[in-house]
Amino acid sequence: MSNAANHHKINYIEFVSTDMARTKAFYADAFGWAFEDWGPEYVSFSGAGIDGGFRAGVAEAGGPLVILYSADLAATEKAVVAAGGEIVVPVFEFPGGRRFHFSDGVGNLLGVWSE
C-alpha cells in the first residue's frame, strides 16, 4: 500500500556496523531506539523519528551526516558519552542553534542539534 503524502520524502536511513551488539546497545542506551533482528547481518530500528537499519560492513568515508534533534543538548551529549560514543566535534553555535558531532564507535559519524 502506498502513501502519496510520503512520495519523495526521506523514509529510511541505512547505516553500516562492524559490531551489531555494540551498535544496538549504544543507540538503545543513548537514544532509546528499539531494534528488530533480520538475521546476523541486518537489524532495523524504530523510535528515531525515521525508520532505518544497520547492515554488517565497514562505513565508507564521505557518507551523509545525519543530524538528530535534541530538546536538551547537554543531556544528550552525556548520554552519548555514557553509552560509549566519542564527541568528535565539540558543541558549537550556528545560526538557529547549537550542535555537536559524535562517533558511535562502529564507524558512523552523526550530529545532534538543538535551539
Q: Residue 35: pLDDT above 70?
A: yes
H/E element, 27: helix 20-31
Query: 10-14, 77-81, 95-99: which range is least confident on average?
Result: 10-14
Nearest to 113 by CA among 56, 50, 53, 68: 68
Of 3.30.565.10, 3.30.1050.10, 3.40.50.300, 3.10.180.10, the CATH number of 4-114 is: 3.10.180.10
- Digit-coded pLDDT (tens) for 47-94: 999 989 998 888 766 566 788 999 999 999 999 999 999 999 999 998
* Sheet containing 34-37, strands listed edge to edge, beginning at the edge strand earlier in sequence: 12-17, 51-56, 42-46, 34-37
Spatial contact of 26 and 43, defined as CB atoms under 8 Å apart: no
Residue spans per domain, the chain: 4-114
Place of cell 555514557: 82
| Residues 77/113, Cβ–Cβ less than 8 Å | no
* Grid cell at residue 103: 562517533
Place of cell 545532534: 112
